[in-house]
Chain A
Amino acid sequence: MTAIQVDGLTKSYGDFAAVKGISFDVAPGEIFALLGRNGAGKTTTMEVLAGFQAPDEGTVRVLGLDPARDRSRVRARIGIMLQEAGFFPDLTVAQTVDAWRDFVAAPRPRDETLELTGLAAKATTKVRQLSGGEKRRLDLALAVLSRPDALFLDEPTAGMDPEARRNTWEVIQRLAGQGTTILLTTHYLEEAQRLASSMAIMDQGLIVAGGGMAETLAAETGRVAFELPSSVPPEELPVPVTTMEGRLAVYRLADPDLTARTLLNWASERGLRLRGLEVRTATLEDLFLDLASGEKHEKKATV
């Protein structure tokens, strides 16, 4: 059984086609990342899944239900963290959580929720005095209040400092470990790579890449880079370099570890040091940049 099912979803606003026929599935307890630039269609997809918008075409199921038609039944079982939504500024954190506890069935205790989201010390602070990152945590607190089976997080860590971000990641991972299905959008590729086991990259309303995180990245090129000693011309390298960025020799290839070993052996035979050596497998960022440059080529080709 799939927890979230999107099949051929299309959604337009007037003449603007925000989402153009996308499909993906999310398994129960899975963390799924929806990535893409601003305006790619991520938030629209999320709004349809959360039942704020009805799809123009295609079908969408959340926990087996149609979020547009069975909205109240779906809402009772999901938590939603909107990208931007207001709070009542004069209420304290505790008062806000208490009010929201009245709005959901079988809520978590207030203190447990504040503890979970790292807001216990801010309980008596008025919402208007919270920082941007703290407001995001309060947002998360309200989203998890009903112990939802599925959680929709739109840019959950935007504006958080690194420590708060790491804590939020832990919360998200813990919830997923307890069986909560999580769909998140993010600008932070590191966040997606660390948290999500599956993902889809959207661009202009379409999914341009997607699948299991590990498999997708394994199929991409890794990177080896180091400072080429000034005495060595690039042509003498044992493996042909992909690009020279100033004195930085950069390789983009499928097996960065093997290439690095070849280069290190070659360097040690000559008594050279490979300063600033960096070896890594593909990251989401590489994939993203590849997609962006691929698009540039396409555009050039059509001119």
Chain B
Amino acid sequence: MSARDLAVVARFDSRLFWRDKTALTTSVGLFVLLGIGLPLMMDRVGPEGPKFLLDIHLGVLVTFLTVATFSQIATTLTARRDQLLLKRMRTTGLSDRDILGGEVGNLVIQATLLTGVVSVALYALTGLTMPRDPLLYLVFVVAGSAVLCLLGAAFTAVIPRTEVATVMTMPFFFLAGIGAGGFGPMLEMLPGWAGTVLDLLPTAAVVEAAQVAYAADGTFLGDLGAAAVPALKLVVWAAIGLLAVRRWFRWETRRS
């Protein structure tokens, strides 16, 4: 694996992504439209204070972050696997890590930029203020996106064919949304254990760390301490993702 090859694949994947109308509609269009639109609407309909606005923003954000990373990579990699495009890419000098890592890199960069667009738009259009610790926010958006991409790549192992890829990733989008409050305060209607379980999701870790970054007061050391638990969650998920990819990832369709 080399940085050059990773960059080459990421750039190639990015070019393909921007030609893909389906990807643009779901991963970019919905992300921006609802990522900005929903919190903006809530803010205009009945301002319930900055805490509520922030919760909605982060809830919607990680819901669509799941679409733009987990679902997107699962759909793309399944299609490439089934069309034997991954196999063709493997006939070149590229290593397996370059091929997967390039796509992860491409989607992480895009998801981070989209998060930037959505966040900045909300700072401009609503009462939402800039995070006190923007670096912490950035680090967790990047790390969270990367972990979600890894998990999406691992998830392709159970997707039998391209046509069902998107449908099969939808439960995760709902789980992320419910857990993070992206569909409103739905957790209140569920039993307590559901909240505890959904708190373990990588998207919950991103929200948790982002709340720390947005909190009005705090110190650098205090932030580090508060971010330790979400960071640990992401590390565990990353390890699960890596192991699963290594163990079960399929580079080509099963032989009939």
A interface with B by C-beta (< 8 Å): 13, 50, 52, 72, 75-76, 79-80, 82, 84-88, 90, 99-100, 102-105, 142-143, 146
> A72-B95, A88-B16 in contact; A103/B90 too (CB < 8 A)?
no
| Sample (24) of A-B pairs whose CB atoms are under 8 Å apart | A52-B90, A72-B93, A72-B95, A75-B91, A75-B92, A75-B93, A79-B91, A82-B87, A84-B84, A85-B85, A85-B88, A85-B91, A86-B84, A86-B85, A87-B88, A90-B19, A99-B12, A102-B12, A103-B5, A103-B89, A103-B92, A142-B91, A143-B91, A146-B93
- Determine the distance from Cα of A151 to Cα of B62 in the docked complex, in whole angstroms: 47
Q: How many residues of B contact A (CB 8 A)?
A: 20
B interface with A by C-beta (< 8 Å): 5, 8-9, 12, 16, 19, 80, 83-85, 87-95, 255
Q: Report yes or no: B84 in contact with A82, Cβ–Cβ below 8 A.
A: yes
Q: Which residue of A lies closest to B81 (CB)?
A: A86
- Point out the residue from B5, B16, B87, B94 that lies within 8 Å of A85, measured CB to CB: B87
With a cutoff of 8 Å between Cβ atoms, the chain B residues found around residue A72 in the complex are 93, 95
- Determine the distance from Cα of A52 to Cα of B94 in the docked complex, in whole angstroms: 13
Q: How far is the CB of A211 from chain B (nearest CB, A)?
A: 29
Q: How far is the CB of A49 from chain B (nearest CB, A)?
A: 12
Q: Which 6 pairs of residues, A with B, have the shortest CB-CB distance? A: A86-B83, A103-B92, A85-B84, A80-B91, A85-B88, A102-B8
Q: Which residue, of B9, B80, B83, has the highest number of chain A Cβ atoms within 10 A?
A: B83
With a cutoff of 8 Å between Cβ atoms, the chain B residues found around residue A85 in the complex are 84-85, 87-88, 91
> A82-B87, A88-B85 in contact; A13/B93 too (CB < 8 A)?
no
- Point out the residue from A50, A86, A90, A102 that lies within 8 Å of B91, measured CB to CB: A50
Q: Report yes or no: B8 in contact with A103, Cβ–Cβ below 8 A.
A: yes
Q: Report yes or no: B84 in contact with A104, Cβ–Cβ below 8 A.
A: no
Q: Which residue of A lies closest to B5 (CB)?
A: A103
